[in-house]
Amino acid sequence: MAVLPHAETGTEDDRSHSRSRHAAAPPAHPAPESARSVALVTGASSGIGAAIARSLAAQGRWTLLVAGRDPERVARVAAETDGTPLVNDLSTPDGVRRLVRSAVDAAQRIDLLVASAGVGWAGPFVTMPTSAVDDVLTVDLTAVVQLVRLVLPHMLLQRRGHLVLIGSVAGCLGVEGEAVYSAAKAGLGAFADALRYELRGTSVRVTHVVPGVVDTPFFAHRGVPYSRRVPRPIPPERVARAALRAIDRGSREVFVPRWFRIPAGLRALAPAAYRQLAARFG
Ligand SMILES: NC(=O)c1ccc[n+]([C@@H]2O[C@H](COP(=O)([O-])OP(=O)(O)OC[C@H]3O[C@@H](n4cnc5c(N)ncnc54)[C@H](OP(=O)(O)O)[C@@H]3O)[C@@H](O)[C@H]2O)c1
């Protein structure tokens, strides 16, 4: 793998949306196994993680470690991507440790970590069961931090690595009915920013991918369907394309779709005006 350049904030190129939605076509000239870099993708059994795993496979230069919780779904995506299936539950510290151990056992190194595993919960905060609070904070924040804690020393030693953290626009804006999810994703964004400062001068990159609403089983899994008329859900393949571009460019942060940068910027620059608009338009 070429050392990744550290570019300015990435942008999501809408023009590429006209290309094939399913980027899993086999590469014309796949790299020989020995020349490939190793990518560990969590949440690869479904939605955004599966789309990213397929897109990486289509590039033909990655050895893929396909991680998820459901053995059948993991096996299916692993078969499609010629990857190694790794089945783990990330809701316990031991599950995180086991995942890293099995990844290193399988491939001896990790050059790219895509942390896409995540869960949602929607409803009034006071009605949220404490077990759901724990699950959202653990899977969406704590497990990612612990995973990075275990993977990063290897990347620093090998002087090469890229951490791609899948956040959410909920973490940048704060979404009604998703208080804990928004908090977890906000924490992930702050973690990415802080870590990036610490890693200046190293060859380890940190990319925060910030999707809006994506058409995946996420809403079925959380048990509450997506019901807003806008924004319209985008296909996970679009997030995958943006993530791969961000990996190639070493982008720090990428919003998908790109226009979500506007409300996020307004909230940062003019919070009172943003809150008025958010209260009015939801
Ligand atoms: N969909 C959206 O609108 C949207 C928007 C912004 C951000 N995101 C974020 O994007 C990421 C991917 O979500 P998605 O839309 O692809 O949802 P998804 O289709 O429900 O996929 C979630 C993935 O996370 C895995 N996972 C959940 N709990 C886990 C656990 N305890 N241990 C290990 N793996 C676990 C699932 O594994 P199994 O299927 O094997 O159980 C699945 O592979 C999440 O971080 C989510 O917060 C989603």
Q: What is the DSSP string of 152-187?
A: HHHHHHTT-EEEEEE--HHHHH--TT-HHHHHHHHH
Residue 160 has pLDDT above 80, yes or no: yes
Residue 105 has pLDDT above 60, yes or no: yes
How big, in percent rounded to 5, are the helix, strand and coil portions of the chain? 50, 15, 35
- Is residue 256 within a helix (H) or strand (E), and if so which, with residue range? strand 253-256
pLDDT band at 280 (very low <50, low <70, confident <90, very high): confident
Range 261-277 average pLDDT: 89
Residue 223 has pLDDT above 50, yes or no: yes
Of 74 and 9, which is predicted with more confidence?
74
Catalytic residue list contains 197? no
Residue 186: CB atoms within 10 Å: 18
pLDDT band at 202 (very low <50, low <70, confident <90, very high): very high
Q: Region of 208 please: left (phi>0), alpha (psi -120 to 50) or beta.
A: beta
Range 213-242 average pLDDT: 95
Residue 14 has pLDDT above 50, yes or no: no
* Model pLDDT, residue 26: 59
Alpha-carbon 70 to chain mean position: 18
Calculate what percentage of the chain has a pLDDT beyond 90. Answer: 79
Look at 27-31, 68-72, 272-276 and tell me which has the smallest mean pLDDT.
27-31
Residue 2 has pLDDT above 70, yes or no: no
Selection from 47, 266, 58 nearest residue 172 by Cα: 266
Q: Which two tokens stand for residue 143?
A: 């497990």
Look at 70-84, 170-184, 268-282 and tell me which has the smallest mean pLDDT.
268-282
Which atom of ligand 1 lies closest to the CA of 215?
1
Which atom of ligand 1 lies closest to the CA of 44?
43
Q: Nearest 5°: CA angle at 168, between 164 and 171?
A: 115
d(CA 146, ligand 1 centre) in Å: 17
Domains of the chain: 23-281 (3.40.50.720)
Residue 9 has pLDDT above 80, yes or no: no
Residue 206 has pLDDT above 70, yes or no: yes
Using a 6 Å CB cutoff, which residues line ligand 1?
Answer: 43, 45-49, 68-70, 73-74, 88-91, 116-119, 139-140, 166, 168, 211, 213-214, 216-218, 221
